[in-house]
Amino acid sequence: MAKGASLSGFPEWLPQERVVEQQVMDTLRSIFELHGFLGIETRAVEKGSSLLKKGETSKEIYLLSRLQDLGNENDEPVEERLGLHFDLTVPLSRYVVENSGAIAFPFKRWQIQKVWRGERPQEGRFREFVQADIDVVGNGDLPSHYEVDVPLIMVEALEQLRAYGLPKATVHANNRKLSEGFYRGVGLTDIEGVLREIDKLDKIGADEVSRLLQEECGASADQASACLQLAELSAANGSELREKFDALCEAQGVDKDGEAYALALDGLNTLGMIVDEAAAIRPGAVIADLKIARGLDYYTGSVYETFLEGVSSLGSVCSGGRYDNLATQGKKTYPGVGLSIGLSRLVSHMLGSAQASASRISPAAVLVAVWDEEHRAQSNAIARALRSRGIATDVAPIAAKLGKQIKYADKLGIPYVWIPSTLDDNGENTAEEVKNIITGEQIPADASVWAPQEEFAKRHVEVKNAD
């Protein structure tokens, strides 16, 4: 990371690190578009009223103030003020409503963009970072098969990034209806509060979550225990999940003829469908994990967290879920389902643990040498000829000795140095030559036909340590 990037949580990549980030972005975009998703970009700011839809995250929102307004911010309600968006889902909901007449539904969009959160920086967690999202939004309704499609597309995208040193990724899925129905079935009423506390289970442990459920959500010790038992449930398929869930409900005295159980069963059936259908396409890619809660208010159904094998310290690198009521226009709703990759978190891991790096700093494959400033036009003409054929080319900044120009190319990782024609001792023009400074090979060349060897033509990402 760039030295001098002293603002904690605001990463600045060096040029060679930026190459890795760009390659990751290009890889994700190609997979998203392979599945028919459309690219958009939304504005960086939203009204406070929109940003506050996410509930607990409101304390992390960066609000905007003009310099001349300092000291008077409290005169305007937070709902009316502008703030930087902290994810790409809330802006998407506003975008869909405002452009519903021009959008073909279901609307499948990808978006790779910066977001901002005022949280405490730590490993893989930044205050300014890039997210890569895909969402499918319907008009009035949205088929449940998208709740299988979207996580599998993300797994496919993450699988492509394994070439850059990323470990295997697995999506852990749950369903909000299943959790809510069970919580109501054991007598709890502060459902959003319970979900937020259960969402902390991996971070603070079962004992602390139990304490918070009792102190913050009004749960008894037995109710807190029941919530933790639900979170511990796991199963290989939908039928096994149903058996274990029914056994837990019976043990906790949940009325199977009541509305709470019916709600839980609706979520259970969807979760079982997701796990079974995903297993038929990509075995092991999506598993049921009933401790996944996603402590965010707008999720209404399936919820997902994605973890990398052997890198527990990073936490979830891709999360999301189904939301039926986030985007509304009067009585009309636009239900959606989506997942978001923490791209900056992945890049940070790749640059660190995996030791991913660019094969060279400069995108140029060729540096055209300059004999003297009087003949710079000759070098520029060679560069134009090479660029016209799609060969990335730079021209030496100063007419130094040839050895110094070669050293300059080497510092930038440019593999070829083009040596223009000049007059020899007999006053005759020498042949133009190109030197591969990596292999040492030097041959006569014509800018209208010469091409670099494939391995040197473009930059790529190399991984020194894939463990």
Cβ–Cβ < 8 Å for 336, 135:
yes
Residues 328 and 391 in one domain: no
pLDDT at position 295? 62
For residue 467, the model assigns a pLDDT of 46
Whether 161 has a binding-site annotation, put simply, is no
Q: What is the predicted pLDDT for the residue at 182?
A: 97
What share of the chain in percent tops pLDDT 70?
96
Mean pLDDT over all residues of the chain? 92
In a domain, 217, yes or no: yes
Tell whether 192 and 120 lie within a shared domain: yes
Q: Is residue 70 part of a domain?
A: no
Rounded Cα gap, residues 106 and 135, in angstroms: 10
**Same domain? 415 vs 347:** no
Domain CATH for 394? 3.40.50.800
In terms of domains, do 352 and 370 share one? no
Strands 332-333 and 38-39, by their bridges, are unpaired
Segment (H or E) for 283: none
Q: Are residues 291 and 410 in the same domain?
A: no
pLDDT tens digit string along 305-314?
Answer: 999 999 888 8
User: Does a structural domain hold residue 183?
Assistant: yes
- In terms of residue numbers, what domain contains 298? 15-65+75-357
Is 75 annotated in a binding site? The answer is no
pLDDT tens per residue, range 227-280: 999 999 888 789 999 999 999 999 999 999 999 999 999 999 999 999 999 999
Does the annotation flag 120 for ligand binding? no
pTM for the full model?
Answer: 0.89
| Domain presence at residue 238 | yes
Residue 193: CATH number of its domain:
3.30.930.10
My answer on whether 409 and 292 are in the same domain is no
**One-letter-per-residue 3-state SS of 11-77:** CCCCHHHHHHHHHHHHHHHHHHHHCCCEECCCCCEEEHHHHHHHHHHHHHCCECCCHHHCCCHHHCC
> Residue 215: inside a domain, yes or no?
yes
What single-letter DSSP state applies at residue 438?
T
Q: Residue 331: inside a domain, yes or no?
A: yes
pLDDT at 171 over 70: yes
At residue 166, does pLDDT exceed 80? yes
Mean predicted confidence (pLDDT) in 355-382? 95
Residue 117 among known ligand-binding residues: yes
Task: For residue 298, say whether it is annotated as part of any ligand binding site.
Answer: yes
Calpha distance 148→10 (Å, rounded):
34
- Greatest C-alpha distance within the chain: 103
Please tell me whether residues 108 and 177 are part of one structural domain.
yes
Residues 275 and 379 in one domain: no
Is residue 129 situated within a structural domain? yes
Least confident of 59-63, 74-78, 289-293, 400-404: 74-78
Any known ligand binding at 255? no
Tally of domains within the chain: 2
Both 348 and 384 in a single domain?
no
Residue 199 assigned to a binding site? no
Cβ atoms 306, 348 nearer than 8 A = no
88 marked as part of a ligand binding site: yes
135 known ligand binder: yes
pLDDT at position 177 over 80 = yes
